[in-house]
Structure 1
Amino acid sequence: MPNAQAPRKPSMPLHIKVLLGFMLGTIVGLVAHATAADAAWVKTTIDYVTQPFGQIFLNLLFMLVVPLMFSALVLGVAELGDIASLGRLGWKTLNYTAVVTALAVGIGLLCVNLLQPGTHMDPALVEQAMSNAKTGEIISKGNELRLMDLLVNIVPHNIVNAMGDDSKKLGIVFFALMIGIGLVMKPTAGTTAFKNAVQGLFEVCMHLIGMFIKLAPFAVAAFMFNLTARLGWDVIQSLMWFVVTVLLALAIHGFVVLPLWVRLLGGMPVRTFFRGTQEATLTAFATASSSATLPVTLRVAEENLKLPRKVSRFVLTVGASANHHGTALFEGITVLFLAQVYGLHLGMPQQLMVLLLCILGGIGTAGIPSGSLPVIAMICGIIGIKPEGIGIILGVNTFLDMCRTSLNVTGDLATAVVVSHRSGVTDDEVPEVPDNAGHH
């Protein structure tokens, strides 16, 4: 670590703080459950301290759902337009990203259907833990959900109304995509100014989430205390099923799908790929942020993997905000896990809708720690699950966030390898592009 030369002692990394909060909240909660489960002070602490604090933390994240999704998607589409001169390169990137992200989400949905992690939690205990989530209301709302309504609501007749209605939030995605396409098609001084304003909104949202996420250690401690003080050791065992399901799906995608993809379509030996990308993968694991890892990812692509800068800078810059295999996979598993927890059966049409939402959600997820939580909240609202349900998995989210971010960055690099190989572009053909690429 580069702390040795620092004149003052560096602060503790956030993921260590979250881990400490997780352990502290769990231990104190288990002790309280074992020694004073029915004591008045435990109920008072939960009702007036830990539960309100945890809810405020969730609300801070939910508050940014609309501006974050809108700005990230508009910029994601507009970024492709910035490199329109590269011809089919943008479409290649988009197609490969969509196909491999769909594979990732498919693997996640398969694992969650096979292992059924949500069924290992007693619904009565969950309802008690998430006291403001009414299971009956969730089930009835989910059963009334119709695929055609979802499809019609993709195109909003009132964007302001869609922003305030969980079941219509997909309309925001559509609206943002249309705005992004409009920016690409009409490059004028006015649209450039608007794009800069949207960039400013995105940066503000990322900064605010960066601020709010500093509360995560305390929120995690509060959530784990709430869960364990009420439910004891059972909830830890239940969450372990969820953790195992996520890790299994990430492993299958990261160690089976991506290596085959790199070898068969990218023409690169698997060992060469993993040896060349390990620095970026470990940086992603440590920071839990694909955006923070981007400088390392770009350097690794050019120096270790020897990819042409014209391709790697485009693919990886867009990928840091629009190519999230691990995040999309995690979002799919979490939505189905929460549906199972609440006894809500999602049929094949609804699971296909989850698949599509996760692919779009992966594009709109901010490349920062826990950036997927607002997207999961949006998908839950569309499918008919109370977004507050994500409080159940917050305790284990940080570790899983580090794991899925590593897969995100590895997936970005795999995409760059494949696009470079399939497009046949070399730096010799385009000596000026590296200078231009630096402006993005």
Structure 2
Amino acid sequence: MSENPVIESLLVANRGEIARRVIRTANRLGIRTIAVHSDVDAGLPFVREAAEAVEIGPANPALSYRNAEAILAAAKQTGAAAIHPGYGFLSENAGFARAVADAGLIWIGPSADAIAAMGDKINARNLMAAAGVPVAPGTTEPAGSLDAALAEAERIGFPVMIKASAGGGGMGMAPAYDDAAFRTEYEKVRGFAERMFGDGSVLIEKYFPSVRHIEVQILGLADGRVVALGERECSVQRRNQKLVEESPSPASMLTPQRRAALHAAAVRAGEAVAYRNAGTVECLLDPATGDFFFLEMNTRLQVEHPVTEAVFGLDLVEAQLRVAAGLPVEVPTHPVGHAIELRINAEDPKRFLPGPGVISTWVEPTGEGVRVDSGYASGDTVTPHYDSLMAKLIAYGADRAEAVERARAAVAGFAIAGPKNNLPFFTELLANEEFLSGDYDTAIVTRMR
């Protein structure tokens, strides 16, 4: 996959490391790249590395990166042929995807209908159940009142997870272990959902205190087929937000038979909504039984896509562009080796609270099997307006042990001064016996703290 995928110009409707990542592939393919940026991001690397750049608004993302009208105006102004949304912001906004298509532009992602179908968690659960994808015990429609929701929780059996139906990315969810906690958390989640998503609908699901978070990368091809590109282990989390991802999963209970079943279920999930382009089917794996359950589907490129690229030798952004252009993609059949990604955030390494600031030192590690996808460089400012992610450090090896060793060396060689950063946490994690065993769950960070 090296020829230009018949898209002459591409506007990247995002910022930071993912904008830079998409621009890098597009530049390599000879595609004219266009960056859009807020006023505070004008000096960041992704703006400099694009062929053109358009300022679309102030720091407030609602007035810039989530401003669909401003982004479409920039596309018209620059003559863009296509729009890549990256992740976050408008990437899973069905209305924006539809507006892009209505404007005669190529949308680098699944159809607006597929985004809408999977964007509502209750609807997505019901679709998956109908397609034969395992789902955890839970509700099939929004509860009309607190009492009705509590009755459902008692039917399912405590503990339960209360989720905003329109939420995603770990936001708008809380566990409840009994009636009293449920009453408190239900109102919190519903209120948060109304403020953040404009939709107070709430889903109740069985909660598994000890669980692994495993996801499958799928790719819906232009010829209508949906393929699975292995799985990623995402169980190192803080506040339901991922910190580390690896591929393949080191979970001992993920036998070849279970792995095949997991991948097959993810393919069925994509087929159920006629999925095209890159997407991720997220699942929970019960360590006690080895059973897995559908969690949600992310209808976009994931933050952690580089570990899949490393073990499959595939550029997923190029694959996205080819699918959007109606071209075939050569899909590798088996992963080779092991890859680990560490999210380098501007946050303190103990409580994980944001710590933005001016970067006075930024020295990225190098070496065999080491890759850094960064959004910043020395002299740049990490502002409090956006996510704290500064870079992703990816280490690849012939096996997990080699990947871990290369990750350790890379963390030691990554020099950052100015903003707070979580590199010390990764030094600790990469020496942690539970993590090194491969048999850990989503509570590992809590146990470390």
Give the TM-score of the pair, scaled to structure 2. Answer: 0.25
Q: For CA contacts below 8 A with separation 6 or more, give which structure has more relative contact order.
A: 1
- Larger proportion of strand: 2
| TM-score (norm: length of structure 1) | 0.25
More helix by share: 1
